[in-house]
Each structure stands twice: as structure tokens, then as C-alpha cells.
């Protein structure tokens, strides 16, 4: 059968834990309240087991870290009504929560979310049950009021780049395993940019949850086409240790 193999048996691997924050688990943007009705907290024991058993070279934790006046918050739309493009399918006065509006360049399209993960609030903190690895990297994203950022690497319209790629390259990382919340948004965006940056990229499906299953199916197909591998948590350790495993 077809095998999944690492590019190099001695390649170093990173785990990126995406946005396992209180607001996505039991707060203002809890996964259980999204269309897919999934429990974001269910990823925590899976991730903790990976951290305990798999010899990752480095672990990265990303966090949404928004100012109160962030552009992604539905509550702030009235602050920027004059910046909504005439090309937007939804106008500022009729837009509803979770609608997508189009702002004038360079901001582009923006989904309107409930206020979430506001800087220095409990909602923005990583969940207390999540294990934190030694010598890990923390990436705070979405901290510019007018720029949203799903990915741990770049903002949505690529105006800004975090130092994640630099930190991974400093450590000679070649293989990136991505997990966390939500598969169809921030996990997918992080994995997509990881592929663009030429990391061999894996998404650990049972260590993720999604917000919208229809969106997730589209994102999964796009990522597979781009070369992302979708695996289960029990496949990670042999891969990181350099063994071949069946591609199922």
C-alpha cells in the first residue's frame, strides 16, 4: 500500500497547537454554539497525549490576541461603516453576525464574529487543562485593530507576517503537525501557509474540531490538493520517529 514517509528520516518536527483558548471552548465564540455544534474542549486530552508521548523538537502555541476595537468583531462594524466597499454583497447597515462584508482595500473580505479573545482577558488565555511544553514558542496574532489573522504565519491579506517561520527555520524544522481550533478556519489557514513555506505539513484530524462542516469539507479538499496529509493522532509518533506507516 502507499506509504506516508517523511522527506528526510532525520527531519525535525514541530507541533503547532492552534488557538485552544477559553473563548473558543466555553466563551463568546464557543465551538458548541457554531453550526457544527462540536466541543472544542475535546481536543485537549488528545493534544496532551501527543505532548506526553511524541518527541517533537519544538511546540508552538498560537493565540488570537485582539484589541477591543478589532475589525473582526460584529460589535465594531459601526466604527468602520464608511470603510465598507460598495462591492460588498452585504452593506454595513444590514449586516448580521457571521456575515461576510467587504472592506475597502487593503482590508478585503471579513467575517463578522462576536467579540472574542480580547487581549489580557481570561477568554484569550489558553485553556487551563492544556499542557504547555518546555521551551515552546508562543505566537500572538490578530493584534492589529484593522487586520485579521487566522494563520500563525501571515495575516489574512498578508499585510503582516509573524516570526513563526523564522523561528522554525532557526530550529531546522522541516515537518509541521497542526492541530487545534478551528479546523476550517485558523488550523486550515496555518496549514496552508505552512505548505507554501515548503514544510511537509500534517493536520491531526482527531486533535481538531470545526465550526462549520460545509466549510471544513471545502478546506480539506483544497489542502489535500496542495499536498497536506490528514492523519490521526496515533499515527504521529511513528512518523516523528521516522518510521513508514500505511497511508489510510
Q: Which residues are catalytic?
A: 19, 141, 186
Cis peptide before 67 (omega within 30 of 0): no
The answer to whether the CB of 31 falls within 8 A of the CB of 38 is yes
Q: What is the DSSP letter of 248?
A: -
Scanning the chain, the segments in alpha helix (DSSP H) are 22-25, 43-53, 164-170, 188-196, 213-226, 236-240
Question: Would strands 12-18 and 58-64 be described as parallel, antiparallel, or unpaired?
Answer: parallel
CA angle centred on 68, ends 65 and 72, rounded to 5°: 70
Q: How far apart are CA 53 and CA 211, in angstroms?
A: 28
The answer to whether the CB of 104 falls within 8 A of the CB of 85 is yes
Amino acid at each position: 500500500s502507499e506509504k506516508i514517509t517523511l522527506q528526510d528520516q532525520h527531519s525535525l518536527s514541530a507541533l503547532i497547537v492552534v488557538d485552544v483558548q477559553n473563548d473558543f471552548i466555553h466563551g463568546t465564540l464557543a465551538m458548541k454554539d457554531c453550526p457544527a455544534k462540536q466541543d472544542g474542549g475535546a481536543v485537549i486530552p488528545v493534544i496532551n497525549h501527543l505532548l506526553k508521548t511524541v518527541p517533537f523538537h519544538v511546540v508552538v502555541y498560537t493565540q488570537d490576541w485582539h484589541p477591543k476595537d478589532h475589525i473582526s468583531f460584529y460589535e465594531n462594524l459601526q466604527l468602520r461603516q464608511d470603510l465598507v466597499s460598495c462591492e460588498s454583497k452585504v452593506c454595513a447597515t444590514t449586516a448580521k453576525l457571521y456575515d461576510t462584508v467587504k472592506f475597502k482595500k487593503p482590508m478585503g473580505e471579513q467575517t463578522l464574529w462576536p467579540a472574542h479573545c480580547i487581549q489580557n482577558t481570561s477568554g484569550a488565555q489558553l485553556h487551563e487543562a492544556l499542557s504547555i511544553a518546555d521551551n515552546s514558542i508562543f505566537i500572538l496574532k490578530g493584534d492589529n485593530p484593522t487586520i485579521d489573522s487566522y494563520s500563525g504565519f501571515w495575516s489574512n491579506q498578508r499585510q503582516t507576517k509573524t516570526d513563526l517561520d523564522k523561528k522554525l527555520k532557526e530550529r531546522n524544522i522541516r515537518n509541521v503537525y497542526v492541530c487545534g481550533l478551528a479546523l476550517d478556519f485558523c488550523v486550515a489557514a496555518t496549514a496552508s501557509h505552512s505548505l507554501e513555506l515548503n514544510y511537509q505539513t500534517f493536520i491531526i484530524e482527531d486533535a481538531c474540531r470545526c465550526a462549520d462542516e460545509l466549510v471544513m469539507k471545502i478546506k480539506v479538499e483544497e489542502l489535500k490538493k496542495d499536498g497536506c496529509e490528514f492523519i490521526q493522532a496515533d499515527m504521529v509518533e511513528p512518523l516523528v520517529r521516522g518510521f513508514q506507516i500505511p497511508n489510510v
